[in-house]
Structure 1
């Protein structure tokens, strides 16, 4: 992977992007295409490209590039695109702080600590994995407990196997993909144990990674204890009741030397919190407008730092919008204000963006709370009138729902709050 490390940083940039994954790189290109002359991307890894560099499986790029790519292939395309635009990319660098005047404090190997001014900032730091501590799994602390992403990095980038027989806690997509990957490398996967009554990964990964390899999936089941002194020797798993409480009388032991934890992602939002941005308690990311602008003028955010996506293609689409908005802000072009708030309603956990304008088209991303079939997605006015309705065959918490809203639907609403509901028949067992 080729990266561009400028020999000397400028004292100021039109746009500074924090994060050199697909979100940051796409945002940087869009910012320059919108008129920003000098754009800087800062990434803490040795090479730009983000988490995709360790995702060697296929399934990326169908929406963005119209063909199926591996993670490194997708990353290579967005890196080359950024280099073709002569965007400065600084790797092995850390953003220590951003103040309210959008001055970014950087630490690089070549220049030490620098203070660089920016007319606009794009936050694209991505997300981090939940760890064993987040699940509060009791027991000893032996070697052999990994997050699924760390195991993926060890296998795909360094060629190291984490163990010989593994159990996987959680059915997130990374855990499902690693169940297949470990099996292909000769590691026996004892099973995937999911706390919830439904899987938390995409249906295609359930089929391709578990069913096709005869790996058992135990729903409404969790790990309640880890055993071992120097190395994991076994784990105790137990089914849970309707309140997610383990039923210890039905627990059993699983022999293994490795436990992978795949229990979700958390937006990497330390910088967002330092800036005291308004945060969404459900997504744990910043509240954003339809231009992906945060509560502090000139600060924009996109990708998994806002909310967790299931496809990188949607990350790219969101990043291009954020980058374009940041570029326009940097050159002094006015951004049209939003005049409608979107509120998550029945069976909707959250919706992004949080506000929209009646004057342009928008794509709204949301996640559902439960599995439903024969659904209707509804946009509901404050007086209870259904403004818009769309039929969906089913909805699933692990798969994001997209809604395209055109100005014709919104033309009669100004300074209103519209609610989004998803109603249907419950398909949960």
Structure 2
């Protein structure tokens, strides 16, 4: 089988990429989705807060998802459900299987990876203590509660202050559970500020910064946990132990891009644990693209949608040979206090009028200046009174700022002087 564009993943990223490519002329598209329906994680995100950027109104996750699904249906884009991708080769051959089609191989002109991310589990941080039932990730608890109507526990503690954990603290409280607290090993929260206020402060749920779980206690079911304050090296401080009697420990300890297919291709991984991509989100292998949370973890589904629509348009331009792949390019690198940047290399000749750079700082900062330095010359400065790691930054740089098409752009955050 041959197709123009194969999109792996049918969440907000995959759907937006399909819409962007279709609207730019690519009609032969197939979306390969592992679930029973499109939408990905949005199916279980029944809280509001979606759509403000994309649709200029506040929606729940399923409402946001439905609007994208309607656009997919209008365009009659082919979707294969409950399908597992078995292999992806450098010459863009995708092998997938499902119970209806069996094992299928597709030779594509372009492939977009939109496989999202997954939660870090208990094994990743090696919590000391016993291994009873009752220790699960926040996203799993969200799935059980919002899609299956099952409450995972009555007395709950949350390790980690990621947004899913904060949202579940509120959700579980509203459903009658008692959330005794949230602990975060860092001296600052990893969630968005409005989630801290709306999900913790409004429900009087304590947040223990610079604390982590140092022991789990229980036989068949979790009975207690011990948390301790940590020092600057994240080592527990003796004498600071606190014990909570609980039956469930939720883990909200980070998201990891699901990029196994890229790793099998031998592609390098960025500091954001995603692919190294260019201005149109294409990897080092021509015709293989990456977008959404598999590229770097986003704050909002709206941001995923906008990025992925742009990726789809980039894939269309590649399919129709509108790019100059041999055009001069420059690298984009993280400088002082910057954790990562996207994209990683840029061909100015392939951009219409501006370059959008996305990045995160590596720690909370105050009174900062974001500095964009191209080949040793400062081309833009932005004053930021406060900037935190949990909020992704996006900056548009007009093409006119770049004196040449080669060299290096460095993004840094420095103290105002």
TM-score strictly above 0.5:
yes
Aligned length: 413
Q: 1:339 aligns with which of 300, 305, 329?
A: 329
Partner residue in 2 for 1:123: 113
Alignment of 1:325-336 (within 5 A): 325-335=314-324
Matches within 5 A, 1:281-300: 282-300=271-289
C-alpha contact 1:289 1:338 (8 A) present in aligned 2? no
Contact 1:372 1:423 in 2 (8 A): no
Matched, 1:159 2:149: yes
2:308 match: secondary structure: helix
Q: Deviations over 1:157-194 (max 9, x none)?
A: 00000000000000000000000000000100010000
Tell me the equivalent position of 1:109: 99
- Tell me the secondary structure at the aligned position of residue 314 of structure 1: helix
Q: Secondary structure at the match of 1:176?
A: helix
Question: Displacement, 1:338?
Answer: 5.7
Task: Provide the residue aligned with 2:366 in structure 1.
Answer: 373
Distance in 2 (alpha carbons) for counterparts of 1:371 and 1:39: 42
Partner of 2:412: 421
Does structure 1 residue 193 correspond to structure 2 residue 183?
yes
Question: Once the 2 structures are TM-superposed, how far is the Cα of residue 371 of structure 1 from its aligned partner?
Answer: 1.1
Q: Give the match's secondary structure for 1:46.
A: coil
Closer, same or farther: CA 109–242 of 1 in aligned 2, 3 Å: same
CA contact (8 A) 2:328 2:405 kept: no
Partner of 2:390: 398
Which of 135, 140, 143 aligns to 1:150? It is 140
Q: 1:334-378 CA deviation, whole Å, 9 max, x = no partner?
A: 256462211100110010011223343121110001111222111
- In the other structure, the counterpart of 1:364 is 357
Task: Please give the alpha-carbon distance, in whole angstroms, between the structure 2 residues aligned to 1:331 and 1:36.
Answer: 9
2:79 to 59, 68, 89: 89
> In the alignment, what sits opposite 1:7?
none
Which piece of structure 1 moves more, 27-36 or 188-197? 27-36
Q: Take 1:343 and 1:94, find their aligned partners in 2: how far apart are those partners?
A: 35
Q: Is contact 1:325-1:335 (8 Å) kept?
A: no
Please report the TM-score for the alignment, with normalisation by the length of structure 1.
0.94
- Give the drift of 1:290: 0.4
CA distance in 1, matches of 2:88, 2:171: 39
Residue of structure 2 in register with 1:3 after alignment: none
Which is further off, 305-314 or 333-342? 333-342
Using the alignment, how far apart are the partners of 2:323 and 2:344 within structure 1?
20
Measured after TM superposition, the shift of residue 248 of structure 1 is 3.0
Distance in 1, Cα, partners of 2:385 & 2:59: 28
Structure 2 residue ranges without an equivalent (≥5): none
Q: What's the Cα RMSD here?
A: 1.3
Equivalent-residue separation in structure 1 for 2:61 and 2:226 (angstroms): 35
- Structure 2 distance, partners of 1:246, 1:341, is 41
SS in structure 2 of the partner of residue 61 of structure 1:
coil
